Structure 1
Amino acid sequence: MSTHSTLRVGILVFDGVEELDAVGPWEVLASWARDSPLHPDVLTFSADGGGVRCAKGLSIVPDTSAADVGPLTVLVHPGGRGTRSLVVHEAHLAWVRAMRARTPLMTSVCTGALVYAAAGLLAGRPATTHHSQLDALVTADPSVLVDAEARFVDDGDVITSAGVCAGIDMALHLVARLESADAARRVARDIEHAGTSRH
């Protein structure tokens, strides 16, 4: 019998992931988990459980592998240079679709949205990504309703966020959604994030 919390957030890491896309949300969510009465589990994972080298050279050793991560409440799919290969990697896109079928809330940071679009998750839905990749989002799926102004777009069971630092805003929004606005404000104070409520 697992001792894990029923509220579990998994942050995917991969070679070429943009550092802050992954570590920014992790910082917010791990800070939240430390004091939350909900006792959420926040973990990182890679495809095979092995370490990854991020876009600017930081190495991350994740907690586990995609095969062993178990059920998640929230998946965070970051962006970065590494998504260029993932958007055309059929096995990865199939994995994203499988996760979509069993994960209540799918979220992305930056070009993680391109992967979601390529996997068909954003068809006919509002979404955003890094400002330099908005055209690429349309190319990935012309039916996406691109929001060029938002820091993040919450469409219920899918949340996409703009580039890099916007992932922190999205993660604070997640805390507000999963627990409360007060909890999100507490975390923002803890990490000294001035933030923005624009969405």
Structure 2
Amino acid sequence: MGTCEHCGMMLIKKSELSYEKKENMKIAFYLQDGVEVLDFAGPMEVFAYAGFDVFTVSETKEPIVSQGILKIVPQYSIQNSPKADILAFFGGNSEAAFSDEVVKWIKAQQDIQYHFSVCTGAFALAKADILDDQTATTFHNALNRLETDFPKIQVVKSVRFVDNGKVISTAGISAGIDGALHVVAKIKGFNTARRIAYHMEYDKWIPQEGLLLSENPYKGYIDINYINDYTGIYEYTNGKSIQLYVDSKDSSLYARLDSQDYPLFYIERDVFTDLNEDTVKFMRDDKGIITDYKIGDSVSEYFKKLN
């Protein structure tokens, strides 16, 4: 694919970022007139890279305008929208956006595996009774309104997202990216979500900032008690050295080479993969101390740990 003429970064096809070869889930993005751009565009980027089948729906197929700037032509209306596995709703003009007809459509959807909201998109789920007896969050300026208007909802503040299991809500705007990465981690695994965050150059994701009320997709990854065993300086190719360190944001291992950081993805004890999906295997001595590593299953060259 070549390299970017501006920054020199290697260009790759979007399809190459669909790391997991699972059947693609279909996600309906409900977009209303006045929808916040980043509310939906951030999660759309995440889900597209993850290989999900994303399509847009609105009350009608008439063009809508996001933030008075971006004109959007919905692919479907609520009258002809195909079946989805995930329904997603976003903020912007939310007080007028979710009409009785839209709420009726939400309630009529069958076999939905997950409901997902960003910002004041939570009001769509609230009006459809989907958040009844659930815990949820929303945009900081709308938290009190959600709590007052829908007393059956346990509204929480100062979290990036809330995961009830099948219903995930996020705080406002950029928090939608965090919530979407979390959904990817739930469905396709933490390593896939980390790969996507790295390729998007989204270094603000801290999985622990979410409130998890269901199965934790990060368990066994960010709580490895021996992760610091791998840190240190190692030999690398062409006489270079490489530094391995643990980033506190996601409690995961990274390699620093030529002032650039690259994630390593935990598979099992002493076994990781790199961005090229090559195996990185660490060796220990009789005392359990790491001595060296090798890259690739068939490569016999070992690189020593220097300190």
Query: What's the TM-score once normalised by structure 2's chain length?
Result: 0.58
SS at structure 2 position matched to 1:137? helix
Tell me how far 1:134 sits from its aligned partner.
Answer: 0.4
1:114-147 per-residue CA deviation (whole Å, 9 max, x = no partner) reads 2211221111210000011001101221121111
> Aligned match of 2:106 in 91, 96, 100?
96
1:41-69 per-residue CA deviation (whole Å, 9 max, x = no partner) reads 12222222332101242112233333333
Please report the RMSD computed on the Cα atoms of aligned residues, expressed in angstroms: 1.5
1:59-117 per-residue CA deviation (whole Å, 9 max, x = no partner) reads 12233333333111111111112x11134x21111112123x43111110000112211
Q: Size of the alignment, in residue pairs?
A: 186
Most deviating of 154-163 and 59-68: 59-68
The CA distance in 1 between the partners of 2:36 and 2:78, in whole Å, is: 19
SS at structure 1 position matched to 2:50? helix
Check whether the contact 2:143–2:155 (CA below 8 A) recurs between aligned residues. Answer: yes
Unaligned ranges ≥5, structure 1:
34-39
SS at structure 2 position matched to 1:20? helix
Unaligned ranges ≥5, structure 2:
1-22, 211-307
Check whether the contact 1:18–1:79 (CA below 8 A) recurs between aligned residues. Answer: yes
The CA distance in 2 between the partners of 1:148 and 1:183, in whole Å, is: 28
Check whether the contact 1:77–1:108 (CA below 8 A) recurs between aligned residues. Answer: yes
The CA distance in 2 between the partners of 1:6 and 1:170, in whole Å, is: 19
> Aligned match of 1:164 in 167, 173, 177?
173
Structure (1 or 2) with the larger CA radius of gyration: 2
Match of 2:65 in 1: 53
The answer as to 2:122 corresponding to 1:109 is no
Match of 2:97 in 1: 86
Check whether the contact 1:21–1:167 (CA below 8 A) recurs between aligned residues. Answer: yes
Structure with the higher helix share, 1 or 2 = 1
Check whether the contact 1:125–1:155 (CA below 8 A) recurs between aligned residues. Answer: yes
The CA distance in 2 between the partners of 1:119 and 1:45, in whole Å, is: 17
Match of 2:185 in 1: 176
Tell me how far 1:6 sits from its aligned partner.
Answer: 5.5
> Aligned match of 1:26 in 40, 44, 47?
44
Check whether the contact 1:12–1:22 (CA below 8 A) recurs between aligned residues. Answer: no
Query: What's the TM-score once normalised by structure 1's chain length?
Result: 0.87
Match of 2:32 in 1: 14
Q: RCO greater where, 1 or 2, for CA within 8 Å and sep 6 or more?
A: 1
Check whether the contact 1:118–1:140 (CA below 8 A) recurs between aligned residues. Answer: no
Match of 1:64 in 2: 76
